[in-house]
Structure 1
Amino acid sequence: MESKIDWNSLALTALAQYNISADQLVFLGHSENVTFRVDTRYNQNFATSGEYNEQGLFLLRIHYPITEFRDRIWQQHAVIESELMWLTALYRDTDLVVPYPVQNLSGNLITSVEIDDISETLNCTLLKWVDGSLLDIEPTATQARRIGKLMAQLHQHASLWELPSGFTRPKYDWEQLHVSLMKLRSLVDAGKISVTDFAVLESAVQRISNVMTALEKKRTNWGLIHADLNENNYIFYASEARAIDFSCCGFGYYLCDIGQTLLHLFPENRTSFLSGYQSVRQLPDEYQSILEAFFLRATVDNFAFFASQPNEHDYLLETVPYVTERLCSKYLKGEPFLFDS
C-alpha cells in the first residue's frame, strides 16, 4: 500500500483538522510511523476571533509502519490513544519534557484520515515538538549517567501511575520474544543465518524465557516502559537528557527496558548508565544476570527487526555469528559479559 500513498498530501489533510497554520512541512522519515516536522505561524483569523491557536513546532505522525515487523495492533485506535494518555500524564505529573499530544478541532487526540481509492483509514497524531539534539557520537560518561536517570524517572512515574480505564498497550513478554525468534528462522533457509547459529540463539531464547517466566510481576519491577530508548530516541537540550518517540512503549519488566538501552551503549558507559539509574531507583539484588538475559532479548528482537528488511540481511550475516560466539556462548555457560570491553 505504501507506494500508492502521497504522504505529504495525507499529512496536509490531517493538519487541516487542527487549529494550526503550517508555514513549513518537513518529511523526517518512515519507520514505526511516517513523521513530519510542522512549523507553524500565528493565524490572524483566530487572533481576531479571540480563539486559541497553537503555535511553534510540532511532530505529525501517520501511524503506518515501514515493514510488517510490528503487528497491526500497534495501529489500533485504543493502543495509540493509550500512548498519548501516558505522555499526557508524564507532562502533567513530572518535570520531564516530553512530546505531549495536541487535540484536533473536535477535541480528540487522534485524527483519522481516509485514503483515496483505498478502503483503509489511517490514524494520525500531532505532538508538541521537543527541543534538543541527537548525539552524533557515543555519549560521554556524564551523558550516559543522565540517560540512566531519565529512564529511572520514567519507571518511577509508571510504577506509581494508576492506569486509566481502557488503557491498552502491547506486552514485551516471553511470547513476544518467541515471535521475534521465529522471524529469524526464515533466514536460515535463505542462508543468512547458519543452522548452528540459529540453534545457539534458540537455546539462549529458551533460557531467557525461563528467566522471564520465573520473575514475579510486581509494580516495582513490571509496568510501562519506553522500550526503545536508544541514540535515536533520546536527545540533549544543553545538558538535559530528554526522551522522544514513545511509539514502542508497552508493558514489560523495567530491566527489559534497561537491557534495550544498554545494547546501544559501549560497555564502559553501561556502568555510568546504571549509576544514573540508581540515583533515582534501586536495582534488585543480583540484577546483572537478569539484565544480561534482557540484553540478549533485546539483541534477538533487534535481529528480528532487521530480518524484515532485506537490505539489512548482510549485516545479520556478519553480526549473528559474533553474537552467538562472543555473547550467547558465555550466557549459556553462566559467564558474565555485560561489562566486557
Structure 2
Amino acid sequence: MAGSDMPLEELLEHLLGLANASLSLWDLPDDATARLINVSENATYMVEASDGHRSILRVHRENYHTRRAIECELAWLDALSDENVVTTPGYYTGKDGSAIQEARAPGLADPRFLVLFHFVEGSAPDESGDISAGYEQLGAIAAKCHLHAISWKKPDPFERLTWDVDAVFGKAPTWGDWRDAPEVTEDVRGVLEAVEATIRSRLAIYGKAPERFNLIHADMRLANLLVDDSGTRLIDFDDCGHGWLMYDFASSISFIEDDPRIPECKAAWIRGYQSVRALSAEDLAEIDTFVMLRRMALLAWIGSHIEAPEPLSLAPGFAATTARLGQAWLDAVA
C-alpha cells in the first residue's frame, strides 16, 4: 500500500484499529469485528459477527480516489446490476444514509474513506489446468460491460482514474516510473525504452474514439469473478476508470503474461467477447500492445509498492521477464 512513509506493519496496525472503530458507522451487530484479508491499493477486511453476519470493508488508501470518484464507481456498480448487465456486489449505507464513510484514527495523518460491501458467496474459477473456458466467460462479460459503458449516460461530473499512456509513462505516472522498479538493469532498460516508444507510437495512431476508449473495469481477472449456484458476480471495481476497452484483456492476464496457456486464453477471450460485440481488425491488432502497456504498468506498480507482500514476492525476475516479453513483441510488430 503506497502513499505512506510509515512501515507497512505499523500502518496496518493503525488501519486495523480504524477498521474496527469505524464499524459503529453502520447498523451492525455489537460484536462485529474486522480482520485483514488483503492489502493492495486499499486494505480490505472481513467483518464477522456471532449471528453469522459477514461483510467486506474496504478502507481506501489516502489520496488515491476522491469521494466523488468513489461515488462514480458505486454508480456504475448500481447501473450494471440494475440493468442486468452483470451482477455486482451490493453495499451498505451508513447510519447517516451515505454509502461512503470517512474516519480518522490515532497515528494516521489523513482520514480514510470506507465502503462496506455485501459479502458475496462463491469462489473464483480454478486457475489450474485449462482456464480457457473462464476466459471465454471473461470476454463475454467484458463486452457486455463495454456496450453498457458506451451507451450509459454517466453522472455529471464523472470522475475516475484514467488508464492511458500518460498514466503509465507520463511525468506523474499513477503507479510510478517503471525505471525505478527492482532489477531494471541497463540491458532491461534498453529493451523497455524501445517498448515504451513503440507503445506510444502505436496507440497514438489507434486513438481514443469512444468505441475504443471508454469506461473499463481495468482489473477483470478470473480472481475477480465469484461463481456459485446463483450465477457469476464481477467484483472489485476499485480500478475502474477511463481506458482502452482492449486493456480489459491485458488486465485479465496480469502477472501471468508469460504463462504458456495465454495464447489459448486470448483466443477464448476474443471468442467470448465477439459473441456479444464485434471487434475491428485494428482492435485485434493492438491487443498485444495493451498487454505490454499493462505489463509495464505492473512493473512500475511492483517498484512503488515493494513494501507489501505481493509485489515483494513478484519482484524477482519480473523485470527480466518483462524485457523478454517486450523483445518478442517488438520482433512481432516490426
TM-score (norm 2): 0.84
Q: Flag the 1:118–1:182 CA change in 2: closer, same or farther, 3 A.
A: closer
Higher alpha-carbon Rg: 1
Equivalent positions of 1:159-308 (< 5 A) are 159-178=150-169, 179=173, 183-187=177-181, 192-238=183-229, 240-263=231-254, 264=256, 266-308=262-304
CA–CA separation in structure 1 for the residues paired with 2:291 and 2:230: 27
Equivalent positions of 1:110-189 (< 5 A) are 110-138=100-128, 140-178=131-169, 179=173, 183-187=177-181
Q: Flag the 1:155–1:41 CA change in 2: closer, same or farther, 3 A.
A: farther
Post-superposition Cα deviations, 1:7-52, rounded to whole Å, max 9, x if no partner, equal 333123222111222645342121121111223577xxxxxxxxxx
- Given residue 217 of structure 1, which amino acid in structure 2 is its aligned partner? K
Q: Flag the 1:118–1:137 CA change in 2: closer, same or farther, 3 A.
A: closer
Count the aligned residue pairs: 313
C-alpha displacement of 1:314: 7.8
Q: Flag the 1:283–1:14 CA change in 2: closer, same or farther, 3 A.
A: same
**What is the match of residue 39 of structure 1?**
48
CA–CA separation in structure 1 for the residues paired with 2:55 and 2:176: 38
Q: Which has the higher contact order (CA 8 A, sep 6+)?
A: 2
Gaps in structure 1 of 5+ consecutive residues: 43-54, 66-71, 337-341
Post-superposition Cα deviations, 1:143-169, rounded to whole Å, max 9, x if no partner, equal 221121111121121111111012200
CA–CA separation in structure 2 for the residues paired with 1:6 and 1:197: 38
Q: Is the CA contact 1:180–1:304 (under 8 Å) kept in the aligned structure 2?
A: no
CA–CA separation in structure 2 for the residues paired with 1:31 and 1:91: 26
CA–CA separation in structure 2 for the residues paired with 1:130 and 1:314: 28
SS at match of 1:236: strand
CA–CA separation in structure 2 for the residues paired with 1:114 and 1:306: 28
Gaps in structure 2 of 5+ consecutive residues: 1-5
SS at match of 1:16: helix
- Given residue 317 of structure 2, which amino acid in structure 1 is its aligned partner? E
Post-superposition Cα deviations, 1:184-217, rounded to whole Å, max 9, x if no partner, equal 3234xx7x12212111111111111122222332
SS at match of 1:204: helix
CA–CA separation in structure 1 for the residues paired with 2:320 and 2:47: 43
Q: Flag the 1:282–1:56 CA change in 2: closer, same or farther, 3 A.
A: farther
CA–CA separation in structure 2 for the residues paired with 1:291 and 1:90: 25
Runs of 4 or more, structure 1, over 6 Å off, are: none
Percent identity of equivalent pairs: 24
CA–CA separation in structure 2 for the residues paired with 1:314 and 1:85: 35
Q: Flag the 1:39–1:195 CA change in 2: closer, same or farther, 3 A.
A: same
- Given residue 272 of structure 1, which amino acid in structure 2 is its aligned partner? A
CA–CA separation in structure 1 for the residues paired with 2:316 and 2:109: 39
CA–CA separation in structure 1 for the residues paired with 2:234 and 2:313: 31
Q: Flag the 1:307–1:228 CA change in 2: closer, same or farther, 3 A.
A: same
Q: Flag the 1:181–1:170 CA change in 2: closer, same or farther, 3 A.
A: closer
RMSD of Structure 2 on Structure 1 (CA) = 2.7
User: Within the alignment, does 1:85 sit opposite 2:79 as a pair?
Assistant: no
User: Within the alignment, does 1:108 sit opposite 2:98 as a pair?
Assistant: yes
C-alpha displacement of 1:118: 4.1
**What is the match of residue 75 of structure 1?**
65
Mean alpha-carbon deviation: is it higher for 315-324 or for 13-22? 315-324
Q: Is the CA contact 2:176–2:303 (under 8 Å) kept in the aligned structure 1?
A: no
User: Within the alignment, does 1:19 sit opposite 2:18 as a pair?
Assistant: no
C-alpha displacement of 1:254: 0.2
- Given residue 329 of structure 1, which amino acid in structure 2 is its aligned partner? Q
**What is the match of residue 3 of structure 2?**
none
User: Within the alignment, does 1:333 sit opposite 2:331 as a pair?
Assistant: yes
CA–CA separation in structure 2 for the residues paired with 1:118 and 1:272: 46
**What is the match of residue 15 of structure 2?**
7
Q: Is the CA contact 2:296–2:322 (under 8 Å) kept in the aligned structure 1?
A: no
Q: Is the CA contact 1:25–1:38 (under 8 Å) kept in the aligned structure 2?
A: yes
C-alpha displacement of 1:270: 1.6
